[in-house]
Amino acid sequence: MTEIGLGIDLGTSNSCVAVVRDGEIRVLANAYGDAITASVVSFKEDGVITVGNLAKANAIHNPRHTVYSSKRLIGRYYFSPEVKKAQAIYAYEICESENHGINIKVRDELFSLPEIGAMVLREMKSIAESRIGQPVHKAVITVPANFNDNQRQATKDAGRVAGLEVLRILNEPTAAALAYGFGKGLKQKVAVYDLGGGTFDISVLEISTDVFEVLSTCGDTFLGGDDFDDRLIDLLADEFSADHGINLRNDLYALEKLKVAAEGAKNALSFHTEVAIRIPDVIESDGKSLSIERTVTTDEFSRLVNDLIQRTFKVCDEALQQASLVTADLDGVILVGGPTRLPMIRSAVTNYFQQEPQSDVDPDQVVAMGAAIHAAALVNKDRSSFLLDVTPLSLRIGVAGGLAEPVIERNTPVPIEQTRTFTTFQDHQESVKIRVYQGESRRDDENELLGQFEFSGFKKARRGEVEIDISFEINSDGIVNVTAKDRETGEQASTTISLSSGLSDLDMESIIREARTQRIEAVPIDDGGNALEPRPPDPRAQLVMIGVMAQTPGGETVAPAVAAARTINLEERPAMNVSSHFVPDLEMAPDDGPTREEVVILSEDGEILGTSDTKPDLDEVEPSAEDLFESPGSDLSGPLDEDQEKG
């Protein structure tokens, strides 16, 4: 049997798996025929764990026990701002673990983030196994280019817990460039513009036939599609407050409704020039139920998010400068991530780079495809491409005065190693301690702490007489390794790492043992080896669910855990009609319900209150390929020029 290596894009909102078989790259669809699977894990009362689309569908009944967007938390410290933010808005419980790490608490059980990630990975692995028809043990897993060492380590741990040998941790934009340029014999400089749910990455690469060399990468881990949603939420909430004197943000329940509506409307604006938002019963006041009705146009939305889009270009300026290039040097621009479907982003990107982005790249699948190509190159010896990547963040050591001094600057190619010599400060000193950081600030507390290392076991002598060489190594996964040696004896010092968000080997062992006994609910894929290719995304099959609320079997009213808006093609999926997809206990035949390109307004109990039949203005907009790529207007060019001047 030939060895197989999967490519897995473990995304914040969605994951995707691909493989190279018989020289062909194939994206492997899940049981519903979708190329992408929701990165959602749901824990049922009976101890069964559901992963993927079913878990997302179940979220409405089980919000406190449904874990989504866990990638935003992986490898982070409990005290980090991102975790605090998540705690305020996520419906599931996030608590502190030892060493300042975090755990997710569901039904009185604690799970580390790598364990949650592993559940999604295992789902992707099993999708692949059913499609390929044989077991798979190896994979390349992708991460945002800007991920730090803690986040990479944790992702690798997730792979191990899922029973995978992680061949490589690969940067998402690098994978995208590989999928784009593989086997084409290109000599090009390209930029990969990757705007996901929560993060933005830009990488600049030089492709010379089979060599994919990353020249620079820059990113913003606090900028993504979710921020676009927030702008719409603010608009709706502010207007509501002006009209009714009620701040919807103070009501978690109303806020959830706003979130679902905002994401749905935003996504619809990729395909329509105008979208109607209707949230019936958004809140009750003096016994009267109040609603929101509002139309948003592409132009209005562009103005709302223009500064966010411009922020991505500041990062692009930085990346180009680090690569010593100007936009005119680039031969291609590749778009990755859901939000890059928005026409206003496409036109702003065209404007900034002075060229049309590549249109034959699927922004949802390209990362997994690149990972699959690299996985195949790693398991087979006949390599036809190779990747030379860089470290996205500067590696620093803490020095006196609360400062952090760079040892390896960002955008240095990897693998790399630097050695610094330290000496003892006191007579008979038994150990040396250093703190290692990643980041771009000179102040230590403004960087990410990777760990505090304590080295001991070298000879005891007068101060200044012992010299210790400390090596800082970054491998091709972007993972950092710190070791120390007595310079005179060449003997390796023993190392203790404290303050680290990672799992110890002991933790790992017990986690892997436990993972084997977890009961995971599987959706059978019946056509085994006869791989079904994913449906091509159909822009017309746009269904926006707005204001979906539900009640638990116990009568408790709950908010939906995740924004439920996404593309569904109702006709091709009789087994998963719209209602069962999101509100499983609703009985509604697909042919009774809405079919295509409609805005659907659901009431609290799942009843359909209206469709685009009752909103004819939407039907007038026939979405076409042109709609997707046409620029909405020229109002973006002004501020953009100004920006380029400054940069």
Partner 1 sequence: MGTDLAPTEIIALAEIVDDLDYFQILHLPRSASIGEVRKAFHFSSRAFHPDANRHLPSEPRCAIEKIARRVTEAYSVLRDPRRNRAYLQRLEAGKGKRMQLAEAQAEAGRQAVEEKGRTPQGRQYYSLAEADTRRRDFAAAARNLQMALTFEPDNELFKAQLKEARDQT
Ligand X SMILES: Nc1ncnc2c1ncn2[C@@H]1O[C@H](COP(=O)(O)OP(=O)(O)OP(=O)(O)O)[C@@H](O)[C@H]1O
| Residue 404 beta carbon to partner 1: minimum distance, rounded to whole angstroms | 12
Does 381 help bind partner 1 (rule: CB under 8 A)?
yes
* Catalytic residue of the set 194, 263, 597, 598: 194
Nearer to partner 1, 133 or 183 (CB): 183
In this structure, what are the phi and psi dihedrals at residue 256, rounded to the nearest 5 degrees? Answer: -60, -45
Binding mask 312-331 for partner 1 (x = CB under 8 A): --------------x-----
Question: Is 607 marked active-site?
Answer: no
Cα–Cα distance measured from residue 346 to residue 193, given in angstroms and rounded to the nearest whole number:
10
List residues bridging with 206 in a β-sheet. 189, 213
Binding mask 179-218 for ligand X (x = CB under 6 A): -----------------xxxx-------------------
Question: Is 314 marked active-site?
Answer: no
DSSP assignment of 44-78, as one string? -TTS-EEETHHHHHHTTT-GGGEE--GGGTTT--T
Output the CA angle 541-543-549, nearest 5 degrees: 155
Task: Report the 10 Å Cβ neighbour count for 271.
Answer: 21
Does 357 help bind ligand X (rule: CB under 6 A)?
no
- Using CB under 6 A, pick the residue from 60, 320, 342, 484 that binds ligand X: 342
- Using CB under 8 A, pick the residue from 17, 164, 190, 408 that binds partner 1: 408
Q: Distance of alpha carbon 405 from its chain centroid, rounded?
A: 30
Q: Going edge to edge, which strands form the sheet with 542-546?
A: 566-567, 542-546, 598-602, 608-610
- Using CB under 6 A, pick the residue from 71, 76, 131, 346 that binds ligand X: 71
* Catalytic residue of the set 34, 56, 71, 149: 71
Does 332 help bind ligand X (rule: CB under 6 A)?
no
Does 266 help bind ligand X (rule: CB under 6 A)?
yes
Task: Report the 10 Å Cβ neighbour count for 236.
Answer: 22
| Residue 102 beta carbon to partner 1: minimum distance, rounded to whole angstroms | 32
- What's the token pair of residue 556? 């408790």
3-state SS track over 587-623? CCCCCCCCCCCEEEEECCCCCEEECHHHCHHHHCCCC
- Using CB under 8 A, pick the residue from 246, 325, 388, 515 that binds partner 1: 388
Question: Is 465 marked active-site?
Answer: no
Does 159 help bind Mg ion (rule: CB under 5 A)?
no
- Using CB under 8 A, pick the residue from 414, 432, 503, 601 that binds partner 1: 414
DSSP assignment of 323-385, as one string? TT--GGG-SEEEEESGGGGSHHHHHHHHHHHTSPPPSSS-TTTHHHHHHHHHHHHHHSSS---
Does 338 help bind Mg ion (rule: CB under 5 A)?
no
Is 579:587 a contact under the CB 8 Å cutoff?
yes
3-state secondary structure of 136: coil
Quick one: 45 exposed, middle or buried, by C-beta within 10 A (0-12, 13-18, 19+)?
Answer: exposed
- Using CB under 8 A, pick the residue from 407, 436, 482, 562 that binds partner 1: 407
**Of residues 165-224, which lie at the interface with partner 1 (CB under 8 A)?**
167-168, 208, 211, 213
- Which one of partner 1, ligand X, Mg ion, none interacts with residue 211, CB within 5 to 8 A by kind? partner 1
Cα–Cα distance measured from residue 315 to residue 221, given in angstroms and rounded to the nearest whole number:
11
Does 626 help bind partner 1 (rule: CB under 8 A)?
no
Question: Is 71 marked active-site?
Answer: yes
Task: Supply the angle between the helices 225-244 and 298-322 in degrees, to the nearest 10.
Answer: 140
Does 56 help bind ligand X (rule: CB under 6 A)?
no
Residues assigned a catalytic role: 9, 71, 172, 194
Which parts of this chain interact with partner 1 (CB under 8 A)?
167-168, 208, 211, 213, 326, 377-378, 381-383, 386-388, 405-409, 412-418, 420, 473, 475-476, 644-645, 647
Which parts of this chain interact with ligand X (CB under 6 A)?
11-14, 71, 144, 196-199, 224-226, 263, 266-267, 270, 337-339, 341-342
